[in-house]
Structure 1
Amino acid sequence: MATGKRLLNLETMNQAVLNVKVPILGSVSARAVEIQKEINQGIIKPFGNVTKCHFGDQQAMGHKPRTFLRQVAALCTYPDMLDTDHFAEDAKHRAREILKNLDNGSVGSYNPNFINLVMPLKIAKFIEQRDGGVPSHPRDIIVTGGIAKAILNILALVVNEEEPLKTGIVVPMPHYPLYSDAIALFGATKVEYVLDEERGWAVNVDRIRESLRTARKHCNPKVLCVINPGNPTGHVLSRDTLEEIIRLAVEENLLLFADEVYQENIFAPGSVFHSLKKVLFEMGPEYSEQVQLVSIYSISKGISGECGLRSGYIEFVNVEQAVFRHFDILKSFDIPSIIAVLALEVLVDPPQPGDPSYEIFQAETQNSLSSQLKKARLAEEILNRAPGIHCGPIQGALYAFPRIQIPERAVRLAQERGQAPDVLFCHLLLEETGIVLVDGTSFGQEKGTYHFRISLLHPLEELKSILEKIVEFHGKFLHEYS
Structure 2
Amino acid sequence: KEVIDVSSGDPHRAGMKPVSFVRQVLAACLYPELLTDQSLPLDVRLRAQRLLEACDGGSVGSYTASSGLLHVRQSIAEFIIKRDAGVPSCTKNVFISSGSQKIIVRLLASGEGEIQTGVLTPMPSPHTLPTLLDEGWAVDLDELHRAVTTARGRCQPRAIYISNPGNLTGNQESIEEVIRFAAAEGLLLFVDEVSMHSVLRLDFNSRFISYKRVLFEMGKEYAETVELVSSHSLSCSCIAECGQRAGYMEIVNMDPEVMHFLALDLMLNPPKPGDPSYDTHTQETLLTRTTLSQNAQRALELLSDLPGISCQPAMGGIYLYPCLHLPSEFTQLAKVGNVTRTMLEVEADVLYCQKLLEEEGVFVGAGHHGGTTSSHHVR
Q: Same fold (TM over 0.5)?
A: yes
Classify 1:433/1:198 alpha carbon distance in 2 versus 1 (closer, same or farther; 3 Å).
closer
| 1:161 Cα offset (Å) | 4.2
How far apart are the structure 1 equivalents of 2:198 and 2:374? 31
| 1:413 Cα offset (Å) | 4.8
How far apart are the structure 2 equivalents of 1:66 and 1:72? 10
Asked if structure 1 preserves the Cα contact closer than 8 Å seen for 2:182 and 2:189, the reply is yes
Deviations 1:121-143 (A, max 9, x none): 12111111111111111111110
Report the counterpart of residue 198 of structure 1 in structure 2.
134
How far apart are the structure 2 equivalents of 1:272 and 1:246? 19
How far apart are the structure 1 equivalents of 2:266 and 2:283? 16
| 1:112 Cα offset (Å) | 4.4
Report the counterpart of residue 412 of structure 1 in structure 2.
335
Structure showing the higher helix proportion among its residues: 1
**Taking structure 1 as the reference length, what is the TM-score of the superposition?**
0.71
**Matched residues, percent identical?**
37
| 1:372 Cα offset (Å) | 1.7
Report the counterpart of residue 367 of structure 2 in structure 1.
440
How far apart are the structure 1 equivalents of 2:370 and 2:235? 23
| 1:382 Cα offset (Å) | 0.9
**Taking structure 2 as the reference length, what is the TM-score of the superposition?**
0.89
Report the counterpart of residue 76 of structure 2 in structure 1.
123
Classify 1:309/1:124 alpha carbon distance in 2 versus 1 (closer, same or farther; 3 Å).
same
Classify 1:265/1:71 alpha carbon distance in 2 versus 1 (closer, same or farther; 3 Å).
same
**Which gives a bigger RCO, structure 1 or 2 (Cα 8 Å, sep 6+)?**
1
How do residues 325-364 of structure 1 correspond to structure 2 at under 5 angstroms?
327-328=257-258, 331=259, 336=261, 341-342=262-263, 344-364=264-284
| 1:313 Cα offset (Å) | 0.5
Asked if structure 2 preserves the Cα contact closer than 8 Å seen for 1:101 and 1:114, the reply is no
What letter corresponds to residue 431 of structure 1 in structure 2?
E
Report the counterpart of residue 236 of structure 1 in structure 2.
169
Classify 1:169/1:114 alpha carbon distance in 2 versus 1 (closer, same or farther; 3 Å).
closer
How far apart are the structure 2 equivalents of 1:288 and 1:163? 33
Q: State the secondary structure of the residue aligned to 1:377.
A: helix
Report the counterpart of residue 154 of structure 1 in structure 2.
104
Report the counterpart of residue 449 of structure 1 in structure 2.
375
How do residues 6-155 of structure 1 correspond to structure 2 at under 5 angstroms?
48-112=1-65, 115-145=68-98, 149-155=99-105
Report the counterpart of residue 226 of structure 1 in structure 2.
162
Q: Given the alignment of the two structures, is residue 399 of structure 1 paired with residue 319 of structure 2, yes or no? A: yes
| 1:70 Cα offset (Å) | 1.2
How far apart are the structure 1 equivalents of 2:19 and 2:358? 36
Q: Given the alignment of the two structures, is residue 261 of structure 1 paired with residue 197 of structure 2, yes or no? A: no
Classify 1:444/1:373 alpha carbon distance in 2 versus 1 (closer, same or farther; 3 Å).
farther
The answer to which of 212-221 and 88-97 deviates more is 212-221
How far apart are the structure 2 equivalents of 1:103 and 1:433? 57
The CA RMSD over aligned residues, in Å, is 2.4
What letter corresponds to residue 252 of structure 1 in structure 2?
E
How far apart are the structure 2 equivalents of 1:49 and 1:238? 40
Report the counterpart of residue 166 of structure 1 in structure 2.
116
How far apart are the structure 1 equivalents of 2:334 and 2:360? 21
Report the counterpart of residue 467 of structure 1 in structure 2.
none
Partner of residue 208 from structure 1, selected from 144, 165, 169: 144
Deviations 1:377-396 (A, max 9, x none): 11111111111111111111
How far apart are the structure 1 equivalents of 2:113 and 2:272? 51
Asked if structure 1 preserves the Cα contact closer than 8 Å seen for 2:51 and 2:71, the reply is no
Partner of residue 290 from structure 1, selected from 221, 225, 238: 225
Report the counterpart of residue 430 of structure 1 in structure 2.
357
Q: State the secondary structure of the residue aligned to 2:100.
A: helix
Report the counterpart of residue 305 of structure 1 in structure 2.
240
What letter corresponds to residue 65 of structure 1 in structure 2?
P
Deviations 1:361-405 (A, max 9, x none): 222222222222211111111111111111111111112111123
How far apart are the structure 2 equivalents of 1:357 and 1:140? 31
Unaligned runs of 5+ in 1: 1-47, 181-191, 454-482
What letter corresponds to residue 447 of structure 1 in structure 2?
T
Deviations 1:128-163 (A, max 9, x none): 111111111111111011xxx321221111121457
Q: State the secondary structure of the residue aligned to 1:213.
A: helix
What letter corresponds to residue 220 of structure 1 in structure 2?
Q
Asked if structure 1 preserves the Cα contact closer than 8 Å seen for 2:55 and 2:69, the reply is no
How far apart are the structure 2 equivalents of 1:125 and 1:414? 57
Asked if structure 2 preserves the Cα contact closer than 8 Å seen for 1:238 and 1:274, the reply is yes
Q: State the secondary structure of the residue aligned to 1:438.
A: coil
